[in-house]
Amino acid sequence: MFAKINAESRIVIIDDVPTNLRLLDSCLRAVGLRNITTFSDSAQGLDWLLSNAWDLVLLDLDMPAPDGFEILDRLNKRDRTESPVIIVTALNDQQNRRKGLEKGANDFISKPIDLPEVLLRVRNCLELSQAAKQLRDVNAELERKVELRTVQLASSYKAISSSLNRAASYRDDDTGQHIVRIGESSALLAKAIGMPSPWCELMKMAAPLHDIGKIGIADAILQKPGALTPQERQIMQEHARIGYEILRDPHGSPLTDLAAEIALAHHERWDGTGYPNGLQGTQIPLSARIVSICDVYDAIRMPRAYKQAWDVERSRRFITDQAGTQFDPFLVDIFSSLFDEIDRLRSPDGSEA
Ligand code: C2E
Ligand code: SIN
Ligand code: SIN
Ligand code: SIN
Ligand code: FE
């Protein structure tokens, strides 16, 4: 009957009548429970309970102070599921029994003591407390694992993301700062239009992957010092679809799904003349409309193999001029209010980071 119960369960019996103590003690020892502490002095018992770990208390209610009710009150802050209390009451004393249960006792045993009943109730309470403790341990273990996984995920994300950066860095002087800033400015813009924080965080991680498809484009085109021929331009534009194919995954995560959506659509234009699908207005996913502005604002301010860097005024004017043609005018409006903040991402004094 006690097969599932740990024989080392710490059981405390408090009863001012020594014969009751001995009876309960020997009854529990008879079924194999070994770790039993008894108190006929209720004050000592209470002290012990308050300063030791235990699994179950059998508590007489009717004792010189502190009586069982007072002890229940003092124990009340403890978790009754993990540390149950069985009160011992006279058979005909319904009122006190109810009061004891109200004060948090888990169960009761009637006097005169019926041993089979005692054993059943003790077993039930110990099973309950064991299960509660196991559940707590499992939860703690789960929490620890989730924490560990979160840390692992964050560091694998960083590792993957910097590998991808290296893979996509096709210029010797490219430190990858451009794409980091695009993550940060995209998150800022997303936040400023009131998107929820988790989405903004995801944008911060997904946006830097927007140009990953460039790893599929030949260096001869990517690093060409001059303007592209129409045919080269067409090949170059494939980077959007290539990025999408790289990031798209049937078992994708919210991060890769968002990154794939961005990679595909970040060169679409509000007026419908962009690539690869010629989407128009809000047909373009919000994520891509955001990254598009952030990408271009950062790209035009960088020197490229084929062009000089633009200064701040010209860059800002370009962005605002393109509201409604290249870019979502609503987003440009908000983005303009963030110009200073976004420029500070380059470095505190506004110079190239
Ligand atoms: P990117 O250099 O990262 O530029 C991203 C986007 O920023 C460009 O997308 C474009 O919308 C904008 N952008 C960058 N520089 C300029 C500029 O000088 N003027 C204007 N008006 N917009 C600019 P886009 O045009 O679809 O180009 C995609 C990628 O193709 C560029 O990425 C770059 O890697 C390459 N690319 C584009 N044009 C040329 C070119 O004339 N020569 C070479 N070698 N590469 C080019
Ligand atoms: C990179 O992908 O690392 C840089 C992209 C860019 O400079 O346009
Ligand atoms: C939004 O504020 O959620 C959408 C913004 C937009 O569609 O441009
Ligand atoms: C998106 O999930 O990026 C689309 C939301 C929108 O376009 O408002
Ligand atoms: Fe691009």
Q: Name the band, by pLDDT with cuts 50, 70 and 90, for residue 307.
A: confident
Place of tokens 């500070």: 344
**Is the confidence at residue 67, as pLDDT, over 60?**
yes
Listed residues 103, 120, 142: the one ending a domain: 142
Question: Is position 178 within any domain?
Answer: yes
Instruction: Tell me the residues surrounding ligand 5 (ion) with CB < 5 Å.
Output: 211
Q: Are residues 130 and 191 both part of a single domain?
A: no
> Which ligand has its closest atom nearest to the C-alpha of 323?
3
Count other Cβ atoms within 10 Å, centred on residue 244: 19
Question: Is position 160 within any domain?
Answer: no
Question: Is position 301 within any domain?
Answer: yes
Q: Are residues 71 and 196 both part of a single domain?
A: no
CB-based contact 37:59 (threshold 8 Å) = no
Q: 340 Cβ partners below 8 Å, 6+ apart?
A: none
Q: Let me know the angle formed at the C-alpha of 249 by 191 and 171, rounded to the nearest 5 degrees.
A: 70
Listed residues 121, 142, 163: the one ending a domain: 142
Q: Are residues 40 and 116 both part of a single domain?
A: yes
> Per residue in 8-23, pLDDT tens?
999 999 999 999 999 9
Domain span holding position 315 = 173-346
Place of tokens 């508590």: 59
Q: Kindly list the protein residues whose Cβ atom lies closer than 6 A to any atom of ligand 4.
A: 282, 285-287
- Read off the pLDDT of each residue in 148-168 and give the average, rounded to a whole number: 72
Ligand 1 mean position, distance from CA 300 (Å): 8
CA distance 119 to 275: 77
Specify the number of domains making up the chain. 2
Report the DSSP beta bridge partners of residue 86: 58, 107
Ligand 4 mean position, distance from CA 148 (Å): 32
**Is the confidence at residue 257, as pLDDT, over 90?**
yes
Question: Is position 106 within any domain?
Answer: yes
- Percentage of the chain beyond pLDDT 90 is 62
Question: Rounded to two decimals, what is the model's pTM?
Answer: 0.61
Q: Are residues 199 and 291 both part of a single domain?
A: yes
Backbone angles phi, psi at 251, to 5 degrees: -105, 35
Q: Are residues 288 and 194 both part of a single domain?
A: yes
Nearest CA residue ID for atom 3, ligand 2: 169
Q: Are residues 245 and 323 both part of a single domain?
A: yes
Question: Is position 168 within any domain?
Answer: no
**Is the confidence at residue 352, as pLDDT, over 60?**
no
Ligand 1 mean position, distance from CA 170 (Å): 14
Listed residues 125, 142, 159: the one ending a domain: 142
Q: Which range among 29-38, 84-93, 155-164 has the greatest average pLDDT?
A: 29-38
Residue from 210, 219, 236 whose mutation best tests the ligand 1 pocket (most atoms within 8 A of CB): 236
Residue 298: enclosing H or E segment and its boundaries? Answer: helix 286-300
Q: Are residues 194 and 336 both part of a single domain?
A: yes
Q: What is the chain's mean pLDDT, rounded?
A: 89
Q: 171 Cβ partners below 8 Å, 6+ apart?
A: 223, 305
Question: Is position 1 within any domain?
Answer: no
Q: Are residues 135 and 208 both part of a single domain?
A: no
CATH code assigned at 290: 1.10.3210.10
DSSP string, 26-74: HHHHHTT---EEEESSHHHHHHHHHHS--SEEEEESS-SSS-HHHHHHH
CA distance 100 to 44: 20
> Per residue in 23-48, pLDDT tens?
999 999 999 999 999 999 999 999 99
Ligand 3 mean position, distance from CA 213 (Å): 26
Q: Are residues 177 and 300 both part of a single domain?
A: yes
